[in-house]
Structure 1
Amino acid sequence: MRKNIKLTALAAVTTALALGVTACGSSSDPAAAGSGGGKADENKPLIVAASPSPHADILNYVKDNLAAKEGLNLEVKEFTDYVLPNTATQQGSVGANYFQHKPYLDDFNKKNGTTIVPVVNVHLEPLGLYSKKVKSLADIKAGQTVAVPNDTTNEGRALQLLAANNLITLKEGVGTNAKLSDITDKKGLEFKELEAATVPRALNDVDAAVINGNYALEADLKPAQDALALEKAEGNPYANFLAVKEGSQDDPRIKKLAKLLNSDEVKKFIQDKYQGSVIPAFGTPQS
């Protein structure tokens, strides 16, 4: 999921939602969509809203290779924004979505009064520390400059990554919204704040840079091979998950899909296809 999200104006969202739901051509019956409005019919399709990649790719792998064996009729609807999947799930035109992480969902629910809940973690698109001037973490010394994304979510993630690798020290208890002012020991490093999408282009001008997984791929970087450090999947709050409207967690179709998304087959698919740029992050989402 890309993190530099720009929410559209309310009027635009309302118009887009009307078009998006019409385009889906799906039933508005909550029970049929699996949104908790009634007892779900296991034989009816489970419609899942997803970002095109890697989310829809992973779901389509499940649909084409695993779903039939579990008796799951799965449909995948692609969305290119980060508002409609949640509003469609809340309203019942889709039964679930797969595109977001917990910090984004928490903020969305708070701002929109929605009741979307995570079901199961699936993958992480890890931030990584990259450099064209040094070859290891040990080569990063006082006086050097590190570029970091300047938006709240990504900068916090970047600083946590640097702290986890002992390049800086953060205030005790600082969480995912850490800022440069929360650094208690820069260990002589200088920082350059840039828009997340532009950080890869700064690699030649700085000593190291923290880059989002999707932007690393666009810059022909291979996270598993080229990163000096990568976020860990275990316990990471930025794992992307399957989500539903509260009350739909016990829909048998949701349970089947959750099981398949955390299967050995999906793990191998993610590892083989994305080669470390997307990594499995299975398990129960953080509360």
Structure 2
Amino acid sequence: MKKILVTTDFSDRSKSGLRFAIQLAAQNDYHLTFINIHHLQTPSAWDTLRLDEYQNEQKQLIHEKLIHFVEKIYATLHKEPQHIQYAVEISALPDESIKEYAEENEYDYICMSTRGTGVLKKILGSVTSNLISLSKVPLIIVPHDYKRSEIKSILYASDLDDYEKEIIKVLSFAKPIAASIELLNFTAEPYDGENRKILKNRIEKIAQYPVNVHLEERDGDDDLLKAIESAVKNLQPSVLVMFTEQNKNWFEKIFYAGHSAEYSFHTKVPLLVFRKS
């Protein structure tokens, strides 16, 4: 059974990530762990024993609060909790704690909600931005105003540099929930009819699963985010999938597209970010 680590800070904005994870689990019987990272401020004069006692007391209180918070969301969705557990970590570095917990416990995905508009760190929040750079575990980033619905389709935006490996990861998410896949690429090098056919046949052979391929010509990277937003509007996917890596980061290039542009990310579509191998 695949596992998803679902983060919350008990805010209303964080509820969207929980709603998405609960919906995903309902479609494929995932195991969900709801986690809260809490930063405790304590007097420096306390000795280790007193500090440990206080920390344990607070973890227990937060654990109870977490159970109540999650159960209320299940109740509003008219869902019965199944295959779930709770975790509370005390840390001043939430991004590092989430990363370590997910990797050490071998989670398949991290699911978290994010904010509204602005450039990358304003769009996603600093914790999410850091996790995109640091985490080996794929991230599902859910807009705070996401409305729960059945996950039916995936829009996979790719630079096609390593699509043979990438499509396998996309399939691992889409296939268990029987979601359709639309592959979207923007290219400065036009594909003639024969090359388009070769590429589509190659993808079909690798995927062994229906994948619709959209190849669109563009002059450069300046308006890629706007073009992707337009594709999201037209195709109305349940999830947008992208890949990122530390050095050659197409993902960040899109979000920082242009010399001074500060694009708003208005889509209500959850974003699944895989790290390039």
TM-score for the superposition, normalised by structure 1: 0.24
Bigger relative CO (Cα 8 Å, ≥ 6 apart): 1
TM-score for the superposition, normalised by structure 2: 0.25
